[in-house]
Amino acid sequence: MDLVFNAIADGLAEEGYAVVDQFLSQEEVNAILELDEFRNGLTQFKKAGIGKSQQHQINESIRGDYIQWLDKNTAPASVKIYLDRLNDLILFLNQSLYLSLKDSEVHMTIYPAGSFYKRHLDQFKKDDHRKLSVICYLNHDWKEEHGGQLRIYLKDETKDFLPVAGRLICFRSDQLEHEVLLANRERLSLTGWMLDQHTDIR
């Protein structure tokens, strides 16, 4: 994992984002796909909204994904492996980039075929505690024609990444605008944020 962690730290330091493959092995991805939540699909998930608490609203024309938050105390073993690895990554980034990340929050995500998430930033307000966005994809055999790319907006260009199984994308939540292009096939991921505050005091 050291090489992978190093690549993430370098990417964040030099470009503000990093893309690495095999953050989860194909076997680790399969174990997560076996979970009832993903097998039962949308029945156990909630429609994702935009904005926090009072401002929370569902807007189909902005985002069409469904989510379910993970609880690290009760998470099944296959998910715990991922959450523990994120925790190791937090410790690594704190040391190598002098960050003061304290915790993470992660949800399971399903984009049904035909859905997308329009261009946005993950941090809406200055007092947001989300520092890094971290997404790990769970889709075997994802091809260009399936769409669903994560598009990131850099200064003079955009870059698109396919949501292939085991790939992790990490970027500065307050700086990098991004969108999820229309997916023609169901698109699964674990979506999370590294925070500069513990989740239990939020």
Residues that bind ligand OGA (CB under 6 A): 117, 122, 135, 150, 178, 180, 189, 191
- Report d(CA 23, CA 169) in Å as an integer: 10
Torsional sign, CA 143, 106, 30, 5: positive
Q: Which is nearer to Mn ion, 103 or 122 (CB)?
A: 122
CB 35 within 8 A of CB 70: no
- Tell me the CA end-to-end span of the chain in Å, nearest whole number: 31
Q: Of all residues in this chain, which one has the CB nearest to Mn ion in the complex?
A: 122
150 binds, among Mn ion, ligand OGA, none (CB under 5 to 8 A by kind): ligand OGA
Please name which of 9, 4, 1 lies closest in space to residue 172, comparing C-alpha atoms.
9
171 binds, among ligand OGA, Mn ion, none (CB under 5 to 8 A by kind): none
Q: Which is nearer to Mn ion, 17 or 28 (CB)?
A: 17
Strands 168-172 and 17-20: antiparallel
Position 122 contacts Mn ion (CB under 5 A): yes
132 binds, among Mn ion, ligand OGA, none (CB under 5 to 8 A by kind): none
Q: Which is nearer to ligand OGA, 95 or 175 (CB)?
A: 175
